[in-house]
Every structure is written in structure tokens, then in C-alpha cells.
Homo-oligomer: A and B are copies of this chain.
Amino acid sequence: MTNQPHEHIVKSYDEEQRRLVGEILHMGAMAVAQLEAALDVVERRDDRAAQRIVANDVEIDKLEAKISHDVMQLALRGPMARDLREILAGLRIPSDIERIGDYAANVAKRSIALNVSPPVPHTTNLRALGLLAARQVSEVLDAYRDGDADRALRVRARDAELDAQYTALFRELLTYMMEDARNITPCTHLLFMAKNLERIGDHATNIAENIWFLVHGDQPLPPRDKRDETNTTGAV
């Protein structure tokens, strides 16, 4: 913990703002690392490593609590209306990162459940989906670092690709379940893992929209189609 209750040197508003952006980026990098580690343990069927990922999630949660506390302290110091957007983004983006961390931990947790059954050959597409999700998160964090709203919009647009991959995987898993009842339990875990990865993409999109808001204020975003198609299609 570098947080000291009584710091002797009070940082300027701008310095503190920059420090907080740095903390948020650090938090984001932790979430991406957790996600990549979770994808690895699925491949390696390593329960012990999966448990470490689940335990590590607490660190991300703690960091969110600390950042939201510090952002609010900053808000109370700098009562300028122009800072409102930065403060709101500074509260919302860590909340999305925290959720990404949760989903990564969940993928790791379900991999433990998956390892009770014999290996299933369907994890390759899950991995591809997860790597795309990790890329989305990394890139949106870069856009946040650079205050690059155009790049954020490109990440947001690419979410459709992730959704298409998710929908394809979802349908594929259903067919495996229908072919052989022994696939039902492991494939159900894979369905939920895929859903977690799809949700990570949604949170990357939320972050992208917050970057837009940070840069452009209330200027409206173009509407987007809803992502996950599996909940509106009854057929396999």
C-alpha cells in the first residue's frame, strides 16, 4: 500500500489526476494479465494456477475501492464543473475493469470444474474468443491513456466481431451437447466461460464509450446493435 493517510506533500490537482489515471491503467493491466492467465489455465488444466487467479482478483477489487475513494477526494478538492467528466470517467472505468477482473477469475474458476471431466476438444475456439477479448481490453486502455476517442470507437466497433465469434461458439457447443449427453456438463461450463468472455467485450465497449464521453462530452454516440445474439435465437 502506498496510500498514506497524512501525506506531507500535497500534490497539485493535475498531478493527482495524472497519478490516478496511472493507477487506473495499472488496474487495467492487472485485469488483462488475469484474463490471459485464465486462458492459459484452461489449456493447461492447471487447478492450482486457476485458484491463484481466483485469489488474485481481490487485489483488483481493493484497487478499485482505493481509486474510487481517491477520485472522490479529488472531486471534493477541485469544485470546478469542467472536472466533472474526468471524475465520472475516473469512477466508471475502474468499475468496468473490476468486472473484467471478475469475469477473468470466473473463467479460471470454471476451468477447475471443467477439469473434473475428461478433456474436451472445444477449448480452441474459446481461447480465440478470449484472446480477442484481451486485445479489446488492452486497446481500449491504450485509448484511455492517450485520450484517443477515435481509437476507442474502433474498439467499440470491433465488439461485433467478438459477438459473432461468441455466437458461433455457442451454437457449436450446443451441437456437441446434442451429439453426446456426456458432453453436456463440460459444454455447459464452456458456454458460461464463453459468455464471460463476451461480457468482457461489453465492458471494453463501456470503457470506450466513457472515453468518448470524456473527450466529447454529451455529443451523442451513434446507436449500436445489441451484441449477444444467442438470447434472441431459438434455433441452434
Contact = CB atoms under 8 A, between A and B. Distances in A.
B113 A233 contact: yes
A9 interface: no
A11 B91 CA distance: 26
A91 B236 CA distance: 40
Contacts of A4: none
A137 to B, nearest CB: 19
A231 to B, nearest CB: 5
Interface in A103-150: 106, 109-110, 112-117
A198 to B, nearest CB: 11
A79 interface: yes
A184 B178 contact: yes
Contacts of A91: 91
Contacts of A222: none
Please report whether the interface of chain A is mostly helix, strand, loop or mixed according to DSSP: helix
Nearest to A85: B72
A189 to B, nearest CB: 7
Given A72-B84, A84-B73, A91-B91, A109 B231 contact: yes
Interface in A169-193: 174, 177-178, 181, 184-186, 188-189, 191-192
Contacts of A73: 81, 84
A77 interface: yes
Nearest to A236: B185
| Chain B CB within 10 A, most for which of A72, A114, A231 | A231
A205 interface: no
A36 B177 CA distance: 32
B177 A231 contact: no
B185 A174 contact: yes
Given A95-B95, A115-B234, A188-B188, 4 more contacts: A91-B91, A109-B232, A177-B181, A185-B236
Interface of A: 68-69, 72-73, 75-77, 79-81, 83-84, 87-88, 91, 95, 106, 109-110, 112-117, 174, 177-178, 181, 184-186, 188-189, 191-192, 195, 230-236
